[in-house]
Amino acid sequence: MKTKFLFLALAIMTFCVSFNAQAQDKKTSKEETVVFNVPMDCDGCRTKIIDYMSYEKGVKKLDANLESQTVTITYNPKRTNKEKLIAAFEKLDKKAVEVKKGGCCSNPTCK
């Protein structure tokens, strides 16, 4: 009886340790957010960007604002990076320029 109880307690502890390790892995894979200035002429351009960029690897969340000409992307840095996202915009014949924190980008069309 003691052996069965000991085996059950050991199995439960092993399960708890592995579950905790998986939870830690999820916490360490943080997401990053970047904002790009992207020229968009109409709502069709905006829709095209959303449709295409949503399927890029690592993209978690995406918002394209036609009025401000910006695209905000939240992504998993283990799956993609800013350079890959810019390359994806280029496939759509769109020039994306990162908006730097605390200021504007070097794009002359920026408002």
Q: What pTM was computed for the model?
A: 0.67
Instruction: Enter the tokens of residue 97.
Output: 């320029």
Q: Where are the domains of the chain?
A: 1-29, 32-98
pLDDT (0 to 100) of residue 101: 75
72-96 CB burial, b ≥16 within 10 A, e <16 = ebebeeeebeeeebbebbeeeebeb
Residues 9-50 have pLDDT tens digits of 666 777 666 665 555 555 556 999 999 999 999 999 999 999
Just give the CATH number of 32-98. Answer: 3.30.70.100
Q: To the nearest 10°, the Cα dihedral for 63, 66, 68, 69? A: 90
Give the CA angle between residues 21, 55, 57 to the nearest 5°. 40
